[in-house]
Structures are given as structure tokens and as C-alpha cells.
Amino acid sequence: MNGFFGPGPNAPETGDYQYNPQRVQQAKWQSPATSRFLLEAAVGVYASRWGYDERPGNQTHDLIRVQEQGTIPGTGLSNLKYRSSNWPNGRIGAHTWNFSASYVTGAHNFKAGYQGAFHRDIDQLFGIVNNTQRLSYRFLNGAPTS
């Protein structure tokens, strides 16, 4: 059972492909402009993904996803999702940067700089419909509900 789809089992054709890379990268630069003046700069990124992707070679991509909310007679299964998946996913990126300049005289020193960041969070976790018709169906004991 995949928790991203809510409670209940998923039929085999609704399976997804899990690909969750995470990356941390940093770069830093320093340069003594003179014997008393130092320049510094740095950038960094943290990138993370979670959730699932569409299976490679998915033959059910364009089928309309169906969820039976009731119990299927003779199986004991309820909330069964079948025909197609919705491969929910999310990602976050944290991008940071800074620079500074230092001046040292011997008895005194001075440092000034700037630090910034840009964070982005993209969640595509629930309610996604990935077929070209942009449809999904729900049934309760065989009768359509939405």
C-alpha cells in the first residue's frame, strides 16, 4: 500500500517508480586582493525530491484512474485504486549565497558582507490526475460518486 494515495490497497497497474535523489553542493572562493584586503564568496544548493514518478514504459498512463470506495464483494478490499496511477511527488530547493570583504590593519579589522537565500517548495502530492482527459472516477459499491 502506498500512503500517498490514501488508505486502501492499490492494484498492481497503479504502481509507481521511486526516484528520490538528494543533493548538497557548495562552492567557496577566497582571494587576497592585497596584503590587507580579503574577498570571499560562496554559493550552495540543497535539492530534495520525495514521492514517486511514473513507471518507465507505463502502459496505463492515459487510462482514467478509478477508486472503489466501498468494499469489493468476496475480497474484503475497500478503497481499491485501479486502472492507472497518479504518481505524486514533491521537491524542495534551498539556494544560498554570500559574499564579504575584510580589511585588516594590524590593530583593527573590519568585515562586511551579504547573505541571501531562495527556497522553493513544489508539492504535487494529492488530487493529481495525470491522464490527458484530466479525469478520475470514484465509486461507492459500484455506483459513481464523483
Using pLDDT thresholds of 50, 70 and 90, give the confidence band for residue 2. Answer: very low
Least confident of 31-35, 39-43, 74-78, 107-111: 74-78
The whole-angstrom separation of Cα 38 and Cα 52 is 46
Burial class for 11, CB neighbours closer than 10 Å (0-12, 13-18, 19+): middle
> Could you tell me the strand order of the sheet in which 136-140 lies?
78-82, 65-71, 136-140, 143-144
Q: Which three cell numbers stand for residue 63?
A: 487510462
pLDDT digits (tens, 9 = 90+) for 9-22: 677 777 777 777 89
Q: Indicate the average pLDDT of the chain.
A: 82
Give the per-residue pLDDT at 120: 92
